[in-house]
Amino acid sequence: MTTLQDPPVAVEASAAKAPRRFHALIGFGLAAVVLFALAPVALGDFRLGLLAKYLCLAIVAVGIGLAWGRGGMLTLGQGVFFGLGGYAMAMHLKLADAGPGELPDFMQLYGQLDALPWWWKPFANPAFALAATVLLPMLVAFLLGLLIFRRRVRGAYFAILSQALCAALAIFLIGQQGTTGGTNGLTDIQGFFGYDLNDPINRRMIYFIVAAALLAVLGVAWQLMRSRFGELLVAVRDGEERVRFLGYDPANVKLVAYVVAAGMAGLAGALFVPAVGIISPAMIGVVPSIEFVIGVAVGGRASLIGPALGAIAVAWAKTALSEKLPSAWTYFEGLLFILPVVFLPGGLASLAMYLRRRRSTSTEVTS
Amino acid sequence: MTLVLSQLFTGISIGAVLLLIALGLSLTFGQMNVINMAHGELIMAGAYTVYMLQKVIGGAGFSLLVALPVAFVVAGLMGVLIEVLLIRRLYARPLDTLLVTWGVSLLLQQAARDLFGAPNVQTRAPSALTGSIHLTDDLAISSSRVFILALALIAVAAVTVVLKTTPLGRRIRAVMQNRDLAAVSGLATGRVDRLTFFIGSGLAGIAGVALTLIGPIGPTMGTNIIVNAFLVVVVGGIGQLKGTVIVAFVLGIVQSMVEYTTTVSVASVIVFVVIVAFLQWRPQGLFTLRTRSLA
Amino acid sequence: MFRIRGRRSATIVATVAALAALTACGAKTDDSSSASAAGATIDTSGSSIKVGLLNSLSGTMAISEVTVRDSLKLAIEEINAGGGVLGKQIEPVSEDGASDWPTFAEKSQKLISQDKVAAVFGCWTSASRKAVKPVFEKNKSLLFYPVQYEGLEQSPYIFYTGATTNQQIVPGLDYLKAQGKTSLYLVGSDYVFPRTANKIIKAYAEANGMKVLGEDYAPLGSTEFSTIANKVKAAGASAIFNTLNGDSNVAFFKEYKSAGLTAEKMPVVSVSIAEEEVKSIGTQYLAGQLTAWNYYQTTEGAANEKFVKAYKAKYGADKPTSDPMEAAYTSVYLWKAMVEKAGSFDVEKVKAAAAAGGITYDAPEGKVTVDGPTQHIYKTARIGKVGDDGLIKEVWNSGEPIKPDPYLKGYSWATGLS
């Protein structure tokens, strides 16, 4: 594994980091106030449920920001990890709904199985299922990343491969209707670890869990970004060969970012299930996977909070616009891919940064 | 035996379709390192050209022949427009072009929906291309497939001739191999890029004409076929025409054989696994361009 | 590999702890506070009553679902022109399901809890219906589903106005059997309806001395059918039962023709090809092939003449009418009949009115009756043949409306299917 020596620069930099940490804490505080105090008061049950769904997408976006914005790996395949996390959670919830020894409803209908398939069995255990929602995507990402990054497959090659993976997994899941629910996916989820999801109070609780998870994920991303690993990751993005010549193995650095992003997508998928009540191959395919990326591009791929805000904004715009003008939404979505990427590659976050920099230079001048 | 043979031909014909779709991609990807996700919509433009021409001209066979050059120009011009307006600004950011051209593809799809309506449209195939040719009593191959195979081979031959013998081809190869050196040597790389994009996109138009014989013509026809074409280019190796040709046919045959013995869904998973395994062996594709660059 | 300092891990631990604490504030199933999942409230205050129209207006399913939305609107307009329901004008609230199942669930929740609609009309794919089913059951609100489907379902809050399997697939098989076809090849898109339909077909074939020579599924949207056409041809069945959907049909029929197969030698019975699809595939490829539905544009009767005329007047003379459109149109009138019988928009009262029986409507497809216990409707099965003009002509019908039997309980060969 890579050995990291403390570079001398870091000591000087840490002095400058103190106010940054302070800013970050304020930021987290603000986010927490908005998510936990303002939103639940201001929004009704229905809108809060929608927000929970958006926040799930935001969690995926944070991971993409890490892998793509910081690591330069355009992952067009996050749907795979989102789906794995979602299916792991949904399988457990379906089994819990069915009760011990019983088959989930769709298996009785379409599968005509006498017994649960072996790979379903471990998911009856809540601890296993919970762990699997995050660890299973990470494991798949680890194995795939190991193969891909070691052989220095990168750039467009990596993007295309991750896209093909989505298509393959979605088609495969659809093909196994008896055991995966096919195109329908796993639906009609009634309970969440003993809590009845039909109860509005419990749906609010789901919202709080999702919001807390988003904050936690942001915290993890923040820690990673400002660690030496984060600096290495950026270095790999900007000059992989240079990093290699410096004695690091870029494959390891990328692998970590990729695996973490996969874990986040898995977590998001797992939370999506109780929040929306369904997981289906439609969430895994090529199109939803690339749609995860727009929010990140709009919000600012390299920033911490940008991808999350961007994802929420885009998802909200989709709901709002497609209600009124469904065909206009497709044009708008197309433009969302084009305009920010061409004219504002740093996303909205860079706009904010630019404004701040202007302000700070002007204060310098006046003082 | 007959079955194996006919299945082999099916594989070759799937390969020919893949090749026709991937040929243009391979050119633009090879030269500019640009992944044009809107390639599928340029194919769609070619298919709609057939539809429009049939409305104007009538006769199925004649309009199909006229459509070949017209679709080439229509799709080519659309490609140049995309290049001039967007891709030129992004040469240093290949991954960003991927996203931007995806956006373009969404715009074009919706535009097609608004212009021609969301449902698929129908074109008539000339009667010579709707039946099959009997080689033996029970071995028959469909004539539209033979037509597509011939079209694909002609296109490959034409592109090869252009690349190997014409001054334009020399310039394209020069830019492909070392853009900076070509620019320093006085080549207007921007112009060469536009021309390459015109040819590459034009080939998509021709692919679109061919697809009207075997598939639906509608706003989303491009997205259904494009992922496999990208795989062909990636596995074939950047800027390697021969790689694209070989991989297209191999992939076609593998897919048809696996599909025949198992199911379509298993086949797609197997193809993916084979490709990842292959890239372990040759991460830069089947053939690689020898360069001294690190990246 | 990378050291995480103590303080940092502390923040992480704190977040996780906070998360765990939050979980504790929910209400367990057995808590008394959870008894609040009451029925949906319907807004009956104004001079109009809202109903929801939930169809995909964008995405891959838009092609089909927009036509359903159009005929729903036509029915509502007609009813409003005739004085509305219980003296109230119907106010449609249109939502886009965007061909995305979670969006369907989300929008149906919105229609119920924000717009407080009296009923929702829509959904096309089985997947979208499965996605919204729990939402309607949870909120005790009504959905009218207008598309033929795979059966094996009976939700207390859904009315099914399309055919179930014994009103479409089984008659289709009866027809083939009567024509002396002894072997079948099954081709379908890879989703719930074709897989379930094919299971039924196999059971039927076994009991009726027919052979199933092969069964193939293509992913939805797949357009590469040369291998499947080869397999079909090699198997040499006497008929093909086709449950493909959308784009795939175009590619399949082109390949079918290229392989030298013809409607005389090996006819294809399709259950998802209606007038609109015939238009986009082309009669060059389809003429002479069979379809199984409950309604065609050419179906005879005054009610249909009126429907076709009204539809074309509103949406254009070149727009065909099809089975799901007719079922959607009918569903609005059936809802009206139930509400008027109940004398109320209240969901439970409307359901009770339907359960009491006797809800009928003189639909374009002929007289339909709601079957109280199953909430499906009695429908006449019709086998049609695609003509050179792109219209489908009826060649056989069941003579009288068939009683819906979503679980095929009345068929001895079907035991063990559900």
Q: List, for residues C358-403, the tens digit of each pLDDT value.
A: 899 999 999 999 999 999 999 999 999 999 998 999 999 999 999 9
Higher pLDDT residue, B57 or B76?
A: B76
Higher pLDDT residue, A1 or B172?
A: B172
* DSSP H/E element including C352: helix C347-355
**End-to-end CA distance of chain B, in Å?**
47
CA–CA separation, C380 and C401 (whole Å): 4
Average pLDDT over residues C325-330: 97
CA–CA separation, A17 and A10 (whole Å): 10
Q: Min CA distance, C275 vs chain B (Å)?
A: 12
pLDDT reported for residue A112: 65
DSSP state, residue A109: I
Q: Tell whether B212 is covered by a domain.
A: yes
CA–CA separation, B246 and A168 (whole Å): 22
Q: Is B264 on the interface with C (CB under 8 A)?
A: yes
Q: Has residue C5 got a pLDDT over 80?
A: no
Chain B residue numbers with beta carbons less than 8 Å from the beta carbon of A74 are 95, 98-99
Q: Min CA distance, B222 vs chain A (Å)?
A: 13
CB contact under 8 A, A326 and C57: yes
CB contact under 8 A, A195 and C36: no
CB contact under 8 A, B279 and A331: no
Q: Does domain C165-294+381-414 have CATH number 3.40.50.2300?
A: yes
Average pLDDT over residues B17-39: 88
Its domain, for residue B148, covers 2-281
Determine which of A6, A25, A174, A316 to mutate to test the interface with C (most C C-beta atoms within 10 Å).
Answer: A174
Determine which of C222, C230, C265 to mutate to test the interface with B (most B C-beta atoms within 10 Å).
Answer: C230
- Determine which of A75-84, B55-64, B104-113 has the lowest per-residue pLDDT on average: B55-64
CB contact under 8 A, B103 and A171: no
CB contact under 8 A, B144 and C254: yes
Q: Tell whether B294 is covered by a domain.
A: no
Residue type present at position C15: T
Q: Is C154 on the interface with A (CB under 8 A)?
A: no
- C116-168 pLDDT per residue, tens: 999 999 999 888 999 999 999 989 999 999 999 999 899 999 999 999 999 99
- C171-201 pLDDT per residue, tens: 999 999 999 999 999 999 888 889 889 999 9
Cβ B180 vs Cβ B50: under 8 Å: no
CB contact under 8 A, B269 and A171: yes
Q: What chain C residue is nearest to A209 in terms of C-alpha separation?
A: C19
Chain C residue numbers with beta carbons less than 8 Å from the beta carbon of A332 are none
Cβ C244 vs Cβ C222: under 8 Å: no
Q: Has residue C99 got a pLDDT over 80?
A: yes
- C202-261 pLDDT per residue, tens: 999 999 999 999 999 988 778 888 889 888 988 989 999 999 987 789 899 999 998 888
Query: How far are the Cα atoms of C60, C125, C190 from residue C320, in angstroms, in the given order?
Result: 20, 21, 27
CA–CA separation, B145 and B153 (whole Å): 12
CA–CA separation, A67 and B95 (whole Å): 13
pLDDT reported for residue C394: 95
Average pLDDT over residues B219-242: 83
Query: How far are the Cα atoms of A40, A54, A138, A174, C15 from residue C22, in angstroms, in the given order?
Result: 14, 19, 26, 36, 11
CA–CA separation, A33 and A35 (whole Å): 6
With bands split at pLDDT 50, 70 and 90, how would you rate the model's confidence at C7?
very low
CB contact under 8 A, C230 and B131: no
CB contact under 8 A, C254 and B121: no
Q: Min CA distance, B167 vs chain A (Å)?
A: 30
Burial of C232 (0-12, 13-18, 19+ CB in 10 A): buried
Chain C residue numbers with beta carbons less than 8 Å from the beta carbon of A215 are 15
- Which residues pair with residue C277 across a beta bridge? none
List of residues 6+ apart from A50 with CB closer than 8 A? A319, C106
* DSSP H/E element including A191: strand A191-192
Three-state secondary structure call for residue C225: coil
Of A156, A241, A294, the CB nearest to B95: A156
List of residues 6+ apart from B216 with CB closer than 8 A? B120, C223, C247, C250, C251, C280, C281
pLDDT reported for residue C40: 67
CB contact under 8 A, A189 and C134: yes
The tokens describing A296, both together, are 């990140």
Q: Tell whether B292 is covered by a domain.
A: no
The DSSP annotation for A250-292 comes to HHHHHHHHHHHHHHHHHHHHHHHHHHHS-B-GGGTSHHHHHHH
- Which residues pair with residue C159 across a beta bridge? C144
CB contact under 8 A, C280 and B259: no
pLDDT reported for residue B2: 76
Chain A residue numbers with beta carbons less than 8 Å from the beta carbon of B93 are 345
CA–CA separation, A103 and A93 (whole Å): 12
pLDDT reported for residue B295: 45
- For residue A345, give the nearest of A80, A74, A157, A57 by alpha carbon: A74
CATH code for the domain in which residue B143 is found: 1.10.3470
Overall size of chain A counted in residues? 367
Of B94, B107, B283, the CB nearest to A151: B283
Taking the CB of residue C65, how many other CB atoms lie within 10 A of it? 30
CA–CA separation, A153 and C170 (whole Å): 53
CA–CA separation, B214 and B13 (whole Å): 11
- Which residues pair with residue A128 across a beta bridge? none
List of residues 6+ apart from A119 with CB closer than 8 A? none
- Which residues pair with residue C394 across a beta bridge? C384
Q: Tell whether B274 is covered by a domain.
A: yes
pLDDT reported for residue B260: 85
Cβ B209 vs Cβ B70: under 8 Å: no
Q: Min CA distance, A267 vs chain C (Å)?
A: 13
* ipTM of the prediction: 0.85
CB contact under 8 A, C280 and B122: yes
pLDDT reported for residue A18: 59
- For residue C251, give the nearest of C216, C215, C288, C285 by alpha carbon: C285
List of residues 6+ apart from A219 with CB closer than 8 A? A28, C11, C12, C15
CB contact under 8 A, B265 and C219: yes
- A residues 14-33 closer than 8 Å to B (CB): none
The DSSP annotation for C289-350 comes to -EEEES--TT--SHHHHHHHHHHHHHH-TT----HHHHHHHHHHHHHHHHHHHHTS--HHHH
Q: Domain total for chain B?
A: 1
The DSSP annotation for A32-79 comes to HIIIIIIHHHHS-HHHHHHHHHHHHHHHHHHHHIIIIIIT----TTHH
A·B CB contacts under 8 A: 128
pLDDT reported for residue A302: 87
Q: What chain C residue is nearest to B117 in terms of C-alpha separation?
A: C63
Determine which of B5, B264, B265, B271 to mutate to test the interface with C (most C C-beta atoms within 10 Å).
Answer: B264
Q: Is C130 on the interface with A (CB under 8 A)?
A: yes
CB contact under 8 A, A159 and B103: no
CB contact under 8 A, C195 and A208: no
Cβ B198 vs Cβ B15: under 8 Å: no
Return per-residue pLDDT of chain A as tens, 367 residues.
333 333 333 333 444 555 677 878 888 888 889 899 899 988 888 889 999 999 999 999 999 999 999 999 999 999 999 999 999 999 999 999 888 878 888 887 776 677 888 899 999 999 999 999 999 999 999 999 998 888 887 778 888 888 888 888 888 888 888 888 888 889 888 889 988 888 888 889 999 999 999 999 999 999 999 899 999 999 999 988 899 999 999 999 999 999 999 999 999 999 999 998 899 988 888 888 988 999 999 999 888 899 999 999 999 998 888 777 777 888 998 999 999 988 888 888 888 877 877 776 655 444 3
CA–CA separation, B46 and B103 (whole Å): 19
Overall size of chain C counted in residues? 418
pLDDT reported for residue C90: 96
CB contact under 8 A, A182 and C33: no
CB contact under 8 A, A46 and C114: yes
With bands split at pLDDT 50, 70 and 90, how would you rate the model's confidence at B289?
low
pLDDT reported for residue C39: 58
What are the extents of the domains in chain C? 165-294+381-414
The DSSP annotation for C30-70 comes to TSGGGGG--PPP----SSEEEEEEEE--SSTTHHHHHHHHH
- C40-66 pLDDT per residue, tens: 688 888 899 999 999 988 777 777 888
Q: Tell whether B287 is covered by a domain.
A: no
Q: Is A143 on the interface with B (CB under 8 A)?
A: no
Cβ B213 vs Cβ B2: under 8 Å: no
Chain C residue numbers with beta carbons less than 8 Å from the beta carbon of B12 are none
Q: Is C373 on the interface with B (CB under 8 A)?
A: no
